[in-house]
Amino acid sequence: MKEYLKVNKKAYDCAAEEYSQKDLFGGNNYLFYQPWVDMIFSKYDLTKRHAALELGAGTGQFLKILSDNRFKTTTIEFSSKMVEYIKKTSPHTLIIKKNIIDVILKNDEYDLIVAMAFLHCFDEEDLKTILNKVGKWLKGDGYFAICTTLHNITEEGYFEKQDYQREIFRYRKKWNKNDFERILDNAGFVIVDEFFHSEITKPKAWVSYLVKKNKVLENPLIPWHNLNIKLGIIYQVFLI
């Protein structure tokens, strides 16, 4: 395990108790997270059973919402302390207590994969590995839901978590919107929905995406050298 991941594991173990006391989907936070939940659920028939995987589920609050809406839930979480809370919050969830870099799952297994404030906790090399895994685990018609912060410039380092009483430092990557979308595009994902929101209690700007796998890039028989889909416009460059 890379050194920065060891630092993050320790940081989230330290933050778990305080994190468990935050009502992420109630009170003032309701207005912040609820549009994201609505965006995801609008894509599914909630009378049917779906398979969902959440990456880095924290204390399991969103897992519980998924489970309460007929999703069969699984999570990958490497913080031992967070896992303890997930077991209480979402007892029906299958928990894989590992570093995601080391996890191997079946291909085309999940209707929904969720990464809420998760992807920015990895360096670019590991992020590319994770996105490659997600592309394999997600069903062809499945959705990948992402929530991350927005920044003017892309940078990385060890930053203190500002909204905790304890002094907690962790590694994170601060992404510029264009740079982050380039990473998604290069990994073979197409953005189908997005919205911007700000936290009520602190000055943080967030963007939430709903993306799907680019089916053209998945099909090697289609002779397109490059495909970029944005705002409904398709540009096709044919091999000559």
Report how far residue 177's alpha carbon sits from residue 185's, in angstroms, rounded to the nearest whole number: 12
Alpha carbons within 13 A on the beta-carbon side of 188? 19
Of 203, 157, 146, the closest CA to residue 180 belongs to 146
**What fold, for 3-214?**
Rossmann fold (3.40.50)
Q: Regarding predicted confidence, which is higher, 165 or 142?
A: 142
Tell me the whole-structure pTM to 2 decimals: 0.87
For the chain, domain boundaries: 3-214
Q: Using the 8-state DSSP alphabet, how is residue 48 labeled?
A: S
Kind of pairing between the strands at 155-160 and 169-174: antiparallel
- Give helix 61-68 / helix 80-89 axis angle, nearest 10°: 30
In total, the chain counts a number of residues equal to: 240
Which helix H or strand E contains 178, and what residues bound it?
Answer: helix 177-186
Chain-centre distance for alpha carbon 108: 17
Model confidence pLDDT, tens digit, residues 161-206: 877 677 889 999 999 999 999 999 999 999 999 988 776 666 678 8
Report how far residue 163's alpha carbon sits from residue 166's, in angstroms, rounded to the nearest whole number: 9
- Who contacts 202 (Cβ-Cβ below 8 Å, separation ≥6)? 162, 163
Q: Which residues pair with 112 in a beta bridge?
A: 52, 143
Asked whether 93 and 61 are in contact (CB, 8 A), the reply is: no
- Tell me, what's the pLDDT at 234? 33
In the chain, the amino acid numbered 124 is: E
3-state secondary structure of 161: coil
Mean pLDDT over residues 100-124, rounded? 97
Q: What is the largest CA-CA distance in the chain?
A: 60
- Tell me, what's the pLDDT at 138? 98
pLDDT above 80 for 1? yes
Model confidence pLDDT, tens digit, residues 12-65: 999 888 888 876 666 555 566 788 889 999 999 989 999 999 999 999 999 999
